[in-house]
Structure 1
Amino acid sequence: MNSQIFTEKLQGIMEEMKEISHMDYFLFSEEGDLEAQTKDVDIPELGKMVRKFRDSPAERQIARGFFFVRICIWGRTEYILLAETEGTDEHSYTIVQMAASQIRNLYLMANSPMDENQYLRQLLLGNLSDEEMEEEAKKLKLDQNPRSMFVLEFEEEKNEIAMETVRNLFLKDDSEYLLDMNGYRAVLIKYADRQPEEAAEELAHMIIDNLQTEALANVKVGYGRNISSYQQMEQNYKDICTALKISRIFYPKKQVAVYEHLGIGRLIYQLPKDLCQMFLKEVFSGEEEVELDKEMLVTIDKLFENNLNISETARQLYVHRNTLVYRLERIEKILGLDIRTFEDAMMFRIAMMVQAHVKYLEKKESRNIVKRSAQ
């Protein structure tokens, strides 16, 4: 992990702990230099107090309204963490210790030797500079053969049975990898020569089917273009994650998402909320949203599946043709669109996708409001 990324993550940990504990933090190096802080103030005496604490045998101390905590790594003092607090009880100390523990773990992660899985995970997350990327690849003796990447997103938190199923069925040897990214996401990296591009969708469906059968796990799988070097992996991973997000919004029934085949969803995903709302009002005669019952939605979906063929749609819905025509006329009164015609059918399909995008943006805004309120 390069120094800039490490510093950013260090600052992020301290800001997060401030939000949780409502205390300000100051992190000093063993030499007494200020490394990070959550409060932009200059307290000249702090450096002197830190050095005095460093030279003492104490592991923790309270002085001048600050908790002092020593952060030792591999037997030596690496950092000294100060927390500005009015409380001096054990609960406050426990919170400061949690912050110290997170800083210690970040340091160990940044400075410990990486195995292949750790290297690839850090690479995908963008935690390595170009120099570190090449240096670690040489240390691990990783080849630059073309590879294909599959991102697995689980509906519920994945378990070891699911991971073991993928590991046993889809890893051919130790040059292919299964990475645990978080509780709901994993990444499968395979040799591209064993996985030609035209067979990628078949493999994606095999992963889905086997996880449902063997691990009772529902999963969406995304994949993109083949990658010819490790430098391309981070961007490829981001692209596939974007494809999965777009697929969840616009194509929720699809279990496989392909970055190169996102269709009009890719375009709508880029639109701002106000422009979407303006479009919906134009289509739906001043309304931003239309509500259709289940029967109407099933009818519309089936009509689209059959390329607007009335007779075939009626046959598959097990209704008389006249009954279907009556339903479509009712839908036309509600929507102001005759979806039996190609132009209005396309307008409705696009409007439904735009409406789904607006709902996604509103849900995202609500989550952010709740998060800010909790702070």
Structure 2
Amino acid sequence: MYNFKEFLRKLNEHSGVSFKLVSEDGTVWFDSTINIDRQNLIKKEIWLGNQTANLLLNKDFEICASLLKYSIESKYNEIFSIREQVIIDMLEGRGVSTEALYSALPFLHNKCTLFLIAVDKNIYDSLNIIKQLYNSEEVISMIYKEYIVVLGNFEDEMEHAISMREAILSDLYTKCYVSYSSFEGGAVELKKSFDDSLTCIFIGKKYDLKNLIFDEESLLLEKIVYNVNDHVKHEVCEKFKDKFIKFDSEIITTIEEFINNGLNISEAAKKLYIHRNTLIYRLDKILKDTGYDIRDFKQASIFIIAFLMWKERRI
């Protein structure tokens, strides 16, 4: 019921009509026209969700084209709306049987990755861009609340996250956050993956992090700092506020890039588009103003924690 390709096979078998279905990006969903002369095929445009596809069939069965088109479009929408509803049910804690879960989402048998995308505007246009990137029944992309959820089997998750973000930015020029979390299992694990990704976006926004692609590992320090009790945060901020308040936007950007590049002077200088000596001068200024040399790992650790707490209060 849930497998679109299986539906196409049965449609061909029961109707006796040979046809070929090709998506706009060239993906062949089904083809039983191998032994038919290409010159005897006619082409009809159909819609698979928000995307067009071409339906090719023998001229002798042209009278069946409209019914075939309606059957394929209806089943596609039915199948994929059911899959989305199963995901929503899992995310909202409603019971989903194991049979229904794996029938709708067979790829959950393997390691999956959930990507969560937050955009400032144009969420539906952003979803269409993602659907064009991943035009496959093995990948689900949908809107849930104010986020785009992308679910499937992915390798090199960071590369996919970068591709999604760049595709949205190049077309829509809107601020875009992407977080991701991998899991194996069913409803409980998927819900946890969603919650983890949501927390990453929240923390990324909370601390105004410049890297807008997040995962749990990359935000471990920020999560620890965020969960420190308010009394300790207040004490730390009181100790450092007179030091940090002197920082202008240039120094703040310098600190963030130096931290993001693992306290590596050469790499940070490249990202800041400044000479290495200029960065050293700025680091010396931070040492003079705060008493902390963030080139030293131990001092940098204390400084970074305090800096994050200060940013949390400031934003």
2:125 pairs with 1:169:
no
Q: For residue 222 of structure 1, what is the aligned residue in structure 2?
A: 179
Identity between Structure 1 and Structure 2 (%): 17
Q: For residue 274 of structure 1, what is the aligned residue in structure 2?
A: 231
Q: Name the CA distance, whole Å, in 1 between partners of 2:88 and 2:238.
A: 45
What runs of 5+ residues in structure 2 fail to find an aligned partner? 1-80
Structure 1 residues 266 and 164: alpha-carbon distance in aligned structure 2, compared to 1, 3 A threshold:
same
Q: For residue 149 of structure 2, what is the aligned residue in structure 1?
A: 187
The correspondence of residues 363-374 of structure 1 with structure 2, limited to 5 A, is none
Report if the CA contact (8 A) 2:263-2:295 is conserved.
Answer: no
Structure 1 residues 299 and 226: alpha-carbon distance in aligned structure 2, compared to 1, 3 A threshold:
closer
What runs of 5+ residues in structure 1 fail to find an aligned partner? 1-113, 361-375
Q: How many residues align?
A: 231
Kindly state the Cα deviation for residue 298 of structure 1 after the two structures are TM-superposed: 3.9
Q: Which has the larger radius of gyration?
A: 1
CA RMSD of aligned residues (A): 3.3
Letter in 2 for 1:118: Q
The correspondence of residues 1-375 of structure 1 with structure 2, limited to 5 A, is 115-126=82-93, 128-129=94-95, 132-134=96-98, 136-137=100-101, 141-143=104-106, 144-146=108-110, 147-159=112-124, 161-173=125-137, 175-182=138-145, 184-190=146-152, 192=153, 195-196=154-155, 199-250=156-207, 252-282=209-239, 284=240, 287=242, 290-301=245-256, 303-304=258-259, 305=261, 307=263, 309=265, 313=269, 317-318=274-275, 321=277, 327-359=282-314
Report if the CA contact (8 A) 1:276-1:354 is conserved.
Answer: yes
TM-score normalised by structure 1 residue count: 0.53
Structure 1 residues 327 and 200: alpha-carbon distance in aligned structure 2, compared to 1, 3 A threshold:
closer
Q: Name the CA distance, whole Å, in 1 between partners of 2:190 and 2:258.
A: 41
TM-score normalised by structure 2 residue count: 0.62
Q: Name the CA distance, whole Å, in 2 between partners of 1:217 and 1:312.
A: 26
Letter in 2 for 1:189: L
Q: Name the CA distance, whole Å, in 2 between partners of 1:302 and 1:244.
A: 19
Kindly state the Cα deviation for residue 309 of structure 1 after the two structures are TM-superposed: 4.1
Q: Name the CA distance, whole Å, in 1 between partners of 2:256 and 2:196.
A: 29
Kindly state the Cα deviation for residue 292 of structure 1 after the two structures are TM-superposed: 0.6
Q: Name the CA distance, whole Å, in 2 between partners of 1:325 and 1:176.
A: 47
Q: Secondary structure at the match of 1:338?
A: coil
Deviations 1:170-213 (A, max 9, x none): 1312x43112112x3110111x2xx22xx111011111111112
Q: Secondary structure at the match of 2:312?
A: helix
Q: For residue 24 of structure 1, what is the aligned residue in structure 2?
A: none
